[in-house]
Amino acid sequence: MLQLTHPIVDVAITCSNFEESLRFYHECLGLEIVLDIQIPEDVAKGAGLAPRGFRQVRLQAGQTLIKLMGIESPPPTPSYDFSAGVRWLTFFVEDVWGTVEELKQKGVEFLSEPVGAPDAGGVVCARDPDGILIEFVQR
């Protein structure tokens, strides 16, 4: 068992279009920027994070940090098709229908209207600029 010193797992996203991803998470979803740093090449390569140095912007989502990676010559955007790997991020919200209406006004496009689920009062998904599903759940 891991002996964690921090009870939350942070998530890092390699962005194919860094500015568009930053706009989506910061301006559309309203996540607060808590740190904007440059990761030097020796750290990026030494830790196996990336083939070269990169910019990282950390955004606060509850107790979780979403770390956006801006790197020169990013890899292409993956297919929107169902595939292996990280599939979605879940945000628990008080009012899923109100959240949808608020975010639609900021340009967020949803895949459907909220639906009921066995473990939630409402669930709905949007996509970030790289196709990662952003799931909003009302318990």
Asked if 62 and 15 sit in the same domain, the reply is yes
Total domains present in the chain: 2
Q: What is the pTM of this model?
A: 0.88
Report how far residue 127's alpha carbon sits from residue 125's, in angstroms, rounded to the nearest whole number: 7
**Same structural domain for residues 102 and 55?**
no
82-114: pLDDT as tens digits: 766 778 999 999 999 999 999 999 999 999 999
Residue range of the domain that includes 16? 11-70
Q: What's the pLDDT at 76?
A: 77
pLDDT at position 69: 95
Confidence grade of residue 15 (pLDDT, cut at 50, 70, 90):
very high
How confident is the prediction for the chain on average, in pLDDT?
91
**Residue 77 domain-assigned?**
no
Helix or strand (DSSP H, E) at 12: strand 11-14
Whether 81 is covered by a domain: the verdict is no
CATH number at residue 118: 3.10.180.10
The residues, ordered by sequence, that sit 6+ positions from 38 with a Cβ below 8 Å of its Cβ are: 53, 54, 55, 56
Per-residue pLDDT reduced to its tens digit, 50-64: 999 999 999 999 999
What average pLDDT does the segment 108-129 reach? Answer: 93
4 found inside a domain: no
Give every CB contact of residue 120 below 8 A, 6+ residues apart in sequence: 137, 138, 139
pLDDT at 60: 97
The answer to whether residues 15 and 66 belong to one domain is yes
Q: Are residues 96 and 45 in the same domain?
A: no
2 occurs within a structural domain: no
Residue 80: pLDDT over 70: no
Position 3 pLDDT exceeds 90:
no
Q: What is the pLDDT of residue 40?
A: 95
Residues contacting 6, CB < 8 A, separation 6+:
none
Q: Is the pLDDT higher at 36 or at 119?
A: 36
Average pLDDT over residues 22-47: 96
